[in-house]
Amino acid sequence: WNPITRRGATSEIATDVLLIQSTLGSNPGPLVKVPSFLFTCVPSFLLQNGFPYGAQGVVGFGHTPIALPTQLASHFGFPPKFALCLSPDPVNGVIFIGDGPYIMLPGINVSQNLLFSPSMVSPQGEYFIEVTSIKINGKAVPLNISFLSIHKSGNISSTRLGAGVPPIELVLCSPNVSWSIFGANSMVMARHGVLCLAFVDGGLNPSNDIVIGTHQFEDKLLQFDLAKSRLVSSQSPSSPTALVLPVTKHASTLQYLTKISQGTPLVSTNVVIDLEGQFLWISCNSGNVSSTHHYAHCNSTQCSLAHETQTCSHCLSKPGPPQCNNDDNTCLLLSENVFTGRVSSGDLSEDVIGIQSTDGLNPGPLAILPQFIFSCVPAFLSQGLASGATGIAGLGQAKIGLPLQLSTSFNFSKKFAMCLPPSTSSVGVIFFGDGPYVLLPNIDISKILIYTPLIINKHSHDHYIGVKSIRVNGNKIPIKTSLLLINSRGNGGTKISTVNPYTVLETSIYRSLAESFIKEALRGNATKVSSVAPFEVCFSTKSNEGNLLRPALPIIDLVLQTNKVFWRIFETNSMVPVNNDIACLAFMDGGYNPEASIVLDKLCLF
């Protein structure tokens, strides 16, 4: 019987040797042999039409004595059960025959997180589960319940397991047991950029009122327990409430790196973090080929989202509609390497990315975003980045920046938290979404945070805060107040950056801070030494003769919305060691009339 063309033919029963891979659940073992496996030999016409190229037959997993699972269980003496996880891609699916563990990427034992539901078997060996109701976004859909009942007769009318939207729930044996179908399984891409509900009308009076198709259980492990007559499924992960990225510091460039898994198959990519960057750009000449990569066309929704952040040339070859919709007309986006100042046009693209989910303390499963927007740039643009990095991850406020794309796609809070590592031997973290944010030694930092408004600069998507004044050892330093405000041209104010290695101050602010810092340091018996380029203000870090401790250097406070709310910068963040005996003030003179009067650097963000 060909289930695709629905043609049948008389066939001969035969036996032969069958070889199949053994496993312990995580790694493949040696091939094992079934010396007399029963199967049927069919005429070649039965294979015509409907099968993928190269297919030589059909393997049956029904509940019959000569089906593959039953024969293997009988021969090897393991439980008559099998588990399958269909892949939405051309690779990476799996069928386990026998007991768990079932280890799936990224190293998770799915058999420890299964949901159980009774199953029935028809006389033809088909599998059925009982669906008692259907919910969309938690609300029951009005149905004729008789259509969902299982009639214990030869003609079973029931539910058969066959070959950024509201979740659909199939409520099973009790209200607390349901099969949740999220967007990845409820929607199908009919053509590029168009998603359709992957449910079709089966007409009136069908032989089965609900037939669950393979698309609905792709990337979901289903175990068929033939001995206990039950279906066991991996619980569909709810949309993550938070994601996490690791952060490392590169020794020579002092740039901060993270890893993002991208493409099909997923490949880990090193990118540099840019708090001011407006989107993710990656060199697409690295040799990785993704089967799910698509270019965004001019005048597409993706192109409109991207160009809200900037004006750039697109539709260069054939300007104006309707030529703009041609397949060969890719939307272009200006991409900048902020470390070298070089700029290039990039092809606006979409692809799969995977980021670790988290509960704030422990890592969860990999969260997959199937249509992440980024820019594909020429290889030369990645020159000047840390060794091994092929792009820059922008954390700015644009709609195609990493934070807003993730929060919009997974529907969690539009916020992220960042803790940069102070050295190349430690690891920092970026959380996307709500807390808790648990850091070593097991402290939930989200419970001890101070809050200050982010200031909107209509000329920029960068992150600004409102610094009202600066104190050194509690003493307010003289500053021209207008410099701390953003003017009508978008200049002034205080910006937070991960690009500059050291905090940059407008000249008059720098002079006032340096003079006050030196005064307070000398008052505390610190020893000032000669300047060490590029720094002007330096002190000895040697302990005084006969003393185990040297004098502490002054504390700097950035006073925010009130005098009681301030960002305190201790010596570990205000000073940078230049050798074993000297440390210098890690604040630089940014000249007169800079874009921002204060640019807080990475050193202040640890």
Please say if the pLDDT value at position 339 is more than 50: yes
Mean of the per-residue pLDDT values for the chain? 81
Give the residue from 391, 416, 447 where a domain finishes. Answer: 447
Q: Mean of the pLDDT values across residues 594-603? A: 83
Round to whole Å and give the CA distance between 113 and 355. 21
Both 152 and 229 in one domain: the answer is yes
- pLDDT score, position 298: 80
Q: Indicate the pLDDT class of residue 235, thresholds 50, 70 and 90.
A: low
Both 256 and 230 in one domain: the answer is no
Instruction: Report pLDDT digits (tens) over 169-179.
Output: 888 767 777 77
Which are the contacts of 100, defined by CB distance < 8 A and separation ≥ 6? 25, 83, 109, 110, 111, 223
Whether 367 contacts 353, CB under 8 Å: no
Q: Indicate the pLDDT class of residue 186, thresholds 50, 70 and 90.
A: confident
Both 473 and 595 in one domain: the answer is yes
More confident residue, 318 or 106: 106
Round to whole Å and give the CA distance between 580 and 495. 32
Looking at the chain, the whole-number percentage of residues with pLDDT higher than 70 is 82
- pLDDT score, position 281: 94
Q: Mean of the pLDDT values across residues 184-196? A: 71
Q: What is the CA radius of gyration of the chain?
A: 31
User: Which residue in the block uniquely carries the two structure tokens 């607390």?
Assistant: 176
Which of 316, 342, 340, 346 lies closest to 329 in space, CA to CA?
Answer: 316
Q: Which domain holds residue 203?
A: 106-234
Q: Is residue 17 part of a domain?
A: no
More confident residue, 284 or 119: 284
Both 507 and 594 in one domain: the answer is yes
User: Which residue in the block uniquely carries the two structure tokens 């993710």?
Assistant: 280
Round to whole Å and give the CA distance between 225 and 77. 15
Whether 366 contacts 356, CB under 8 Å: yes
CATH number for the domain harbouring residue 585? 2.40.70.10
Q: Is residue 567 part of a domain?
A: yes
- pLDDT score, position 495: 92
Q: Indicate the pLDDT class of residue 227, thresholds 50, 70 and 90.
A: confident
At 301, is the secondary structure helix, strand, or coil?
helix
- pLDDT score, position 153: 40
Q: Mean of the pLDDT values across residues 156-179? A: 59
Which of 434, 436, 395 lies closest to 412 in space, CA to CA?
Answer: 434
Reduced 3-state DSSP string for 5-62: CCECCCCEEEEEEEEEEEECCCCEEEEEEEEEEEEEECCHHHHCCCCCCCCCCCCCCC
Round to whole Å and give the CA distance between 239 and 407. 11
- pLDDT score, position 284: 84
Q: Is residue 59 part of a domain?
A: no
Round to whole Å and give the CA distance between 437 and 432. 10
Q: Is residue 13 part of a domain?
A: no
Instruction: Report pLDDT digits (tens) over 498-533.
Output: 888 889 999 999 999 999 999 999 998 899 999 999
Q: Is residue 57 part of a domain?
A: no
User: Out of 219-233, 246-260, 466-480, which region has the weakest mean confidence (pLDDT)?
Assistant: 219-233
Whether 414 contacts 434, CB under 8 Å: no
Q: Which contacts of 572-578 are long-range, i.e. CB under 8 A and separated by 24 or more positions? A: 572/422, 572/606, 573/603, 573/604, 573/606, 574/603, 574/604, 575/539, 576/502, 576/535, 576/603, 577/541, 578/532, 578/535, 578/538
Which are the contacts of 487, defined by CB distance < 8 A and separation ≥ 6? none
Both 418 and 459 in one domain: the answer is no
Q: Mean of the pLDDT values across residues 309-317? A: 44
Please say if the pLDDT value at position 480 is more than 80: yes
Both 493 and 525 in one domain: the answer is yes
Both 356 and 504 in one domain: the answer is no
Taken as a whole, the chain contains a residue count of: 606
Both 441 and 459 in one domain: the answer is no
Instruction: Report pLDDT digits (tens) over 58-74.
Output: 898 888 889 998 999 89
More confident residue, 261 or 439: 261
Both 277 and 368 in one domain: the answer is yes
Q: Is residue 89 part of a domain?
A: no
Which are the contacts of 198, defined by CB distance < 8 A and separation ≥ 6? 185, 186, 187, 188, 213, 215, 216
Q: Tell me how many domains the chain contains.
A: 3
Q: Is residue 69 part of a domain?
A: no
Round to whole Å and give the CA distance between 377 and 343. 10
Whether 162 contacts 207, CB under 8 Å: no
Give the residue from 215, 234, 253 where a domain finishes. Answer: 234
Round to whole Å and give the CA distance between 162 and 108. 27
Round to whole Å and give the CA distance between 325 and 298. 6
User: Out of 3-7, 19-23, 343-347, which region has the weakest mean confidence (pLDDT)?
Assistant: 3-7
Both 443 and 458 in one domain: the answer is no
Which are the contacts of 229, defined by CB distance < 8 A and separation ≥ 6? 118, 119, 120, 121
Q: What is the DSSP string of 450-513?
A: ---PEEP-TT--S-EE---EEEETTEEPP--GGGGS--TTS--SEEE-SSSSSEEE-HHHHHHH
Starting at the edge strand found earlier in the chain, the sheet holding 454-455 runs: 454-455, 464-465, 494-496, 598-600, 503-505, 587-589
- pLDDT score, position 33: 92
Give the residue from 429, 447, 465 where a domain finishes. Answer: 447
| CA distances for 69 relative to 64, 79, 94, 111, 303, angstroms | 9, 10, 14, 18, 50
Q: Classify residue 209 by its DSSP letter.
A: S
Q: Is residue 14 part of a domain?
A: no
Both 173 and 309 in one domain: the answer is no
At 214, is the secondary structure helix, strand, or coil?
helix
Residue 574 one-letter amino acid: S
User: Which residue in the block uniquely carries the two structure tokens 């066959």?
Assistant: 162
Both 439 and 487 in one domain: the answer is no
Q: Classify residue 1 by its DSSP letter.
A: -
β strands within 226-341, DSSP E: 230-234, 242-249, 256-262, 267-274, 280-283, 294-295, 332-337
Whether 465 contacts 452, CB under 8 Å: yes
Instruction: Report pLDDT digits (tens) over 23-46.
Output: 888 778 889 999 999 999 988 888
Please say if the pLDDT value at position 193 is more than 70: no
Neighbours of 79 (CB within 10 A): 14
More confident residue, 527 or 217: 527
Residue 549 one-letter amino acid: L
Q: Indicate the pLDDT class of residue 333, thresholds 50, 70 and 90.
A: confident
Residue 30 one-letter amino acid: P
